[in-house]
Amino acid sequence: MPRPTPVSQRSPFGARILGPREQDPRRLRIRIQLLLTLVLVSTNVLGAGVVFVVNNFAVPAPTPSTAMLVALAIGVPTYVVTAAVVGVIWGTATSLRALRWATQGAHVVPTEKERRQALNVPLQLTMMQLSLWLAGSAVFTVLALVLQPERALATGLTVGIGALVVAGISYLLTEFTLRPVAARALADTEVNKKARFVGIGPRMVIFWAIGTAVPVVGLMVAAVLALVDEGETTLRQLAIVTLVVCGAVLVFGFVLTDLNARSVVAPIMSVRDALKSVEAGDLDVDVVVYDGTELGALQSGFNQMVTGLREKEKLRDLFGRHVGHDVAAAAAAVETGEVELGGETRVTSVLFVDLVGSTAYASDHEAAEVVGVLNRFFGVVVDEVDRREGLVNKFIGDAVLAIFGAPVPDENHAASALAAARAIATRLEEELPEIGAGIGVATGTVVAGNVGSESRYEYTVIGDAVNCASRLTELAKDVPGGVLATWETVVSAVEHGDAEAAARWEKRGSEVLRGRTEKTALAVPVWD
């Protein structure tokens, strides 16, 4: 069975930078390594910038001494570079080791342990970044205590804020980078049972705390320090602190909110696009599941829904092939959901086709050859009947019963049945010259509906027209062209708008058909 077409072929993971759905393992490894390196380096540089701004403008503290300035000038760049290098080497090595199965080929199926490790890589990298920055906070706080104790609190606070900012942004960007691997890990699994540690709710709270609560707390700390150290802190300094902290709330709050919103919106957009495809009638569509949270459960749930729809469509198609698509549609339209036994009286045209000498043909040929001839015969009849919106109701051994005018009403049922009979006779003569057939057409009142029991029933028609058409096939086998119809059928066709029917058919006497007491006027085609 071919794999369904994914939504958003160009960016199945929400961004083109992450590559296509199916990509070479080596290229995927290089892509992940480059993106992770870029994320780790950029977040560390961003963190260093945050520390510089906050330390110099956002926290009221004494002017750094010469010794402190020299120590910071040497220590900060050294530690940031060291932390970035260690983070890149340690983080990428750890991540790629946990994701080794994903870069070994699309055929590799991860174990449950490997799935969990892959989904937890963003959290592990974030904790690694946070650990390095907290270690830096401890180092610089101790350095301040030694060289200039009055700046120790400010130093610890600024580096701590930088650590939280780095951790938050790092988590979102790392999770974004690893979407292709997450998709591999979540393939063919129930996402609601494999969710990551950080769900949508906790994630929202965490990033609100980092983007809003932490800067506000910093502002509160600055105010407390200003009150405690009232003589050293001027109104100008406090105003600058307020402006810087408000700017941080606006900038970093926006960055974190935007990244977080994108991580939420992208899976929802993929499901929305897929729903539009389903609405347009395309059931060969699925969504790449790359999120291990409740959003991944939404993506996975959509795929399960479409799979169910495809199965139902397949069953409906199979049902339609067995009983006829019109019958299947009529059954599906019943409001109660249950098909009732019984029928309704209708005027229809019945076409009956029966092979000539099929018993002798079967005895002289192999079974496979006989089946092949029957399939070709049935194929011609079904094709011509369907073309004129009739219903092939039954295959009876080497015979076919077709109905025009039921279950879907059709005023031109007589003309359709006559046209189908002529076309079938012509094609059988050309395509199956090795075997002949008798074709009978009759129009009359029948009872059309479901017969059988509640556990097993079929749609059929019962009435004199069916018997008449069946009797005509026997007579038609001795008529040139092999087609007989009741004159009543020709008259009905003319009365309902087929004015040329009288020219294409002519009377051929009358016969007392088996089971009747009166003669039936007959007609044969006028062949060109």
How sure is the predictor about 524, in pLDDT bands with cuts at 50, 70 and 90? very high
pLDDT at 58 over 60: no
Q: Which helix (H) or strand (E) holds 108?
A: none
| CA 504/CA 499 separation, integer angstroms | 10
Q: What are phi and psi of 151, to 5 degrees?
A: -100, 5
Check residues 26 and 390 and name the one with the higher pLDDT: 390
For 116-175, the three-class secondary structure string (H helix, E strand, C coil) is HHHHCHHHHHHHHHHHHHHHHHHHHHHHHHHHCHHHHHHHHHHHHHHHHHHHHHHHHHHH
Is the pLDDT reported for residue 32 higher than 60? yes
The pLDDT confidence band at residue 56, using thresholds 50, 70 and 90, is low
> Would the pLDDT of 28 be above 80?
no
User: How confident is the model at residue 10, as a pLDDT?
Assistant: 52
Q: Do 510 and 431 contact (CB within 8 A), yes or no?
A: no
Instruction: Tell me the mean pLDDT in the region 59-87.
Output: 71
CATH number, domain 340-525, options 3.30.70.1230, 3.20.20.100, 3.40.50.920, 1.10.287.950? 3.30.70.1230
Is the predicted pLDDT of residue 179 greater than 90, yes or no? Answer: no
The whole-number pLDDT of residue 9 equals 47
Distance CA 167, CA 127 (A): 7
Contact 501, 418 (CB under 8 A): yes
Looking at residue 122, its pLDDT comes to 82
| 218 or 431, greater pLDDT | 431
Q: What is the dihedral of CA 292, 294, 298, 304, to 10 degrees?
A: 60
Measured CA to CA, the distance from residue 256 to residue 51 in angstroms comes to 17
The span from the CA of 111 to the CA of 374, in Å, is 52
* Chain segment 324-340, per-residue pLDDT in tens: 555 555 555 444 455 56
Asked which of 390-399, 418-427, 456-465 is least confident by mean pLDDT, the reply is 456-465
* CA-to-CA dists, residue 150 to 56, 139, 231, angstroms: 14, 16, 14
pLDDT tier at 383 (50, 70, 90 boundaries)? very high
The whole-angstrom distance between residue 330's C-alpha and the CA centroid of its chain comes to: 28
Residues 6 or more apart whose CB falls under 8 angstroms from that of 126 comprise: 167, 170, 171, 174
CA-wise closest residue to 486 among 473, 499, 503, 500: 473
Question: Per-residue confidence at 440, pLDDT binned at 50, 70, 90?
Answer: very high
Residues with Cβ within 8 Å of 478's Cβ and at least 6 positions away in sequence, in order, are none
Residue 255's pLDDT is what? 74
- Please state the length of the chain: 528
Above pLDDT 90, what percent of the chain?
16
pLDDT of amino acid 188: 66
Phi-psi region of 121 (alpha: psi -120 to 50; beta: other; left: phi over 0): alpha
213 DSSP 8-state letter: I
Query: Does residue 198 surpass a pLDDT of 80?
Result: no
Question: What pLDDT, on a 0 to 100 scale, did the predictor assign at position 274?
Answer: 84
Ranges 252-256, 334-338, 348-352, 404-408: which has the least confidence: 334-338
Strands 436-452 and 483-486: parallel
Q: What is the DSSP string of 54-89?
A: IIIIIS--PPPPHHHHHHHHHHHHHHHHHHHHHHHH
Q: How many helices (H) and strands (E) does the chain have?
A: 17, 10
Contact of 286 with 6, CB cutoff 8 Å = yes
Segment 347-356, tens digit of pLDDT: 999 999 999 8
Per residue in 277-325, pLDDT (tens digit) is 888 888 888 888 777 777 777 877 888 888 888 887 776 666 555 555 5
Which of 86, 111, 282, 91 is closest to 184 using CA atoms?
111
Burial class for 484, CB neighbours closer than 10 Å (0-12, 13-18, 19+): buried
- CA nearest to 262, candidates 203, 202, 184, 185: 203
Please check the confidence at residue 468 and state whether its pLDDT lies above 80.
yes
Show me where the domains of the chain are located. Answer: 5-300, 340-525
For residue 132, which phi and psi values (nearest 5 degrees)? -65, -40
User: What does the pLDDT read at residue 240?
Assistant: 67
pLDDT score, position 225: 65
Query: Which tens digit of pLDDT belongs to each residue from 184-195?
Result: 777 766 665 444
